């Protein structure tokens, strides 16, 4: 009975996701309400830390003025997105603010095969579904220092209408309630401090025995 349970769990992970517990790679899932500053942080981290890959999501949202297709997102139509759902292309996908967002299964597989570390940016629905599919992944939630600060950042971004900002703030308040489900919580007050905290987490996670590239051969 126990063997059957273990087998079914293994098959489950294999079909639905990837078990990272004994993988060399680290996989970080980062969630934050829209406007907290995830993109800036991600760009700094990927430029400063080697061997990190950022999983570029697919979305049906239109690109913002400063966004580049294939760098920030793969911008696709709803029809193409639905087709990809049908082909089981996504490791997870969710509807956020009236648009669809999804993570490519093949990208994660390839990065793990190349022993790269990975950053994923997903909303709380995506993070919840990945908790089951990616045992051993590290979940980080980024929060704004205050609601006023978040509202100001959304306004200053000048990419969303007043209605969209209102909608994003309502979603943000719902999302923040899930922060205790994550392994780490970072308040993005000062950018340098946030980057230092991310780097400290990465360093600590790299020191877990399963991640240290060290052979005990010849020691005992
Ligand atoms: P934005 O439109 O502001 O770039 O992103 C809106 C929300 O979608 C953010 O909370 C972001 O984390 C989330 N998101 C981005 N890519 C993905 C994805 O692949 N899957 C899921 N579930 N959410 C995503």
Q: What is the pLDDT of residues 166-175, one digit of tens each?
A: 988 998 998 9
The backbone torsions φ and ψ at residue 187, rounded to the nearest 5 degrees and listed phi first, read -90, 115
Pairing of strands 99-104, 58-59: antiparallel
Q: Which residue has the higher pLDDT, 63 or 97?
A: 63
Q: Is the beta carbon of 120 within 6 A of some atom in ligand 1? A: no
Task: Find the 34 Cα to ligand 1 centroid distance in Å.
Answer: 8
Average pLDDT over residues 78-105: 96
> Which residues, at least 6 apart from 120, have a Cβ–Cβ distance to it below 8 Å?
27, 28, 29, 30, 55, 103, 108, 126, 130
Q: Is the beta carbon of 129 within 6 A of some atom in ligand 1? A: no
Percent of the chain predicted with pLDDT > 70: 92
- Contacts made by residues 187-193, CB under 8 angstroms, sequence distance 24+: 187/143, 187/144, 187/145, 188/32, 188/36, 188/37, 188/41, 188/142, 188/143, 188/144, 188/145, 189/145, 191/37, 191/40, 191/41, 191/44
Q: Is the beta carbon of 126 within 6 A of some atom in ligand 1? A: yes
Q: Which residue has the higher pLDDT, 163 or 80?
A: 80
Residue having the nearest C-alpha atom to atom 14 of ligand 1: 122
Task: Find the 213 Cα to ligand 1 centroid distance in Å.
Answer: 33
Average pLDDT over residues 58-77: 95
The fold of 9-52+116-216 is Rossmann fold (3.40.50)
Q: Which atom of ligand 1 is nearest to the CA of 34?
A: 3
Q: Which atom of ligand 1 is nearest to the CA of 103?
A: 19
Residue having the nearest C-alpha atom to atom 4 of ligand 1: 34
- At 217, the pLDDT band (50, 70, 90 cuts) reads confident
Task: Find the 57 Cα to ligand 1 centroid distance in Å.
Answer: 8
pLDDT for 44 beyond 90: yes
Q: What is the pLDDT of residue 2?
A: 57
Percent of the chain predicted with pLDDT > 90: 61
Q: What is the pLDDT of residue 205?
A: 94
Q: What is the pLDDT of residue 66?
A: 86
Q: Which two tokens stand for residue 106?
A: 């093949």
Q: Which residue has the higher pLDDT, 51 or 119?
A: 119
pLDDT for 27 beyond 90: yes
Average pLDDT over residues 29-41: 91
Chain segment 98-145, per-residue pLDDT in tens: 899 999 999 999 999 998 999 999 999 999 999 989 999 999 999 999
Q: What is the mean pLDDT of the chain?
A: 89
Q: What residues does each domain of the chain span?
A: 9-52+116-216
pLDDT for 93 beyond 90: yes
pTM for the full predicted model? 0.88
């Amino acid at each position: 009975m126990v063997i059957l349970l273990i087998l079914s769990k293994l098959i489950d992970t294999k079909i639905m996701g990837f078990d990272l517990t004994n993988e060399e790679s680290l996989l970080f899932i980062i969630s934050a309400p829209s406007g907290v500053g995830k993109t800036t942080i991600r760009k700094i981290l990927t430029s400063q830390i080697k061997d990190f890959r950022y999983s570029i999501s697919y979305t049906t949202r239109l690109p913002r003025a400063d966004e580049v297709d294939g760098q920030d997102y793969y911008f696709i139509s709803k029809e193409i997105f639905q087709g990809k759902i049908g082909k089981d292309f996504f490791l997870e996908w969710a509807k956020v603010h009236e648009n669809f967002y999804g993570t490519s299964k093949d990208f994660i597989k390839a990065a793990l095969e190349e022993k790269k570390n990975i950053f994923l940016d997903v909303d709380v629905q995506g993070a919840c579904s990945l908790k089951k599919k990616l045992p051993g992944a590290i979940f980080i939630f980024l929060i704004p220092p205050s609601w006023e600060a978040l509202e100001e950042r959304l306004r200053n971004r000048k990419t969303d209408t007043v209605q969209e900002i209102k909608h994003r703030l309502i979603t943000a308040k719902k999302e923040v309630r899930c922060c205790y489900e994550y392994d780490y919580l970072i308040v993005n007050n000062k950018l340098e401090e946030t980057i230092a905290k991310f780097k400290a987490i990465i360093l600590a996670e790299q020191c877990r025995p399963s991640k240290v590239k060290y052979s005990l051969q010849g020691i005992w």
